[in-house]
Amino acid sequence: MKLLLRWLITAIALVAAANLVPGIEIRDQSGWVAVLLMAVALGLVNAFIRPLLVLLSCPLVLLTLGLFLLVVNALCLWLASWLATVLFGAGFVVDGFWPAFFGSIVVSIVSFLLSLFIPDDKEEREQVTYG
């Protein structure tokens, strides 16, 4: 259930990025299908490719005090857009690095804000009373 909620939060964050950042567009006729497929692609990229990028860019991340992670996030969003278009045929397009950069910031902020409304597993366990 929590995975589905996170997937929907990512989809909403992607819609926000498409509406706020020039250069990020939903070109598919069925817009929500494209957004949901893009959310899947972004989840896969974040799960499998992003850790490798963070590991390889560790010296730059340390040198810039973590700011290089913004570039890593932008590359992940850009790659996920390409994968969603090529593999799934989704019409979610990121036109370049700078739209990906600002789009990744929007996606991160919106995802963070919406995730505040999802309780942690620890909080859920504390709410269960045995009596």
pLDDT in tens, 4-57: 999 999 999 999 999 999 999 998 777 888 999 999 999 999 999 999 999 999
pLDDT of residue 31: 81
Q: Which amino acid is at 26?
A: I
Task: Name the residue among 124, 119, 104, 125 with its Cα closest to residue 6.
Answer: 119
Q: pLDDT-derived band of residue 131, with 50, 70 and 90 as boundaries? A: low
Taking the C-alpha atoms of residue 76 and residue 105, their distance in angstroms, rounded to an integer, is 12
Q: pLDDT-derived band of residue 128, with 50, 70 and 90 as boundaries? A: low
Tell me the pLDDT tens digit for each residue of 78-113: 999 999 999 888 889 999 999 999 999 999 999 999
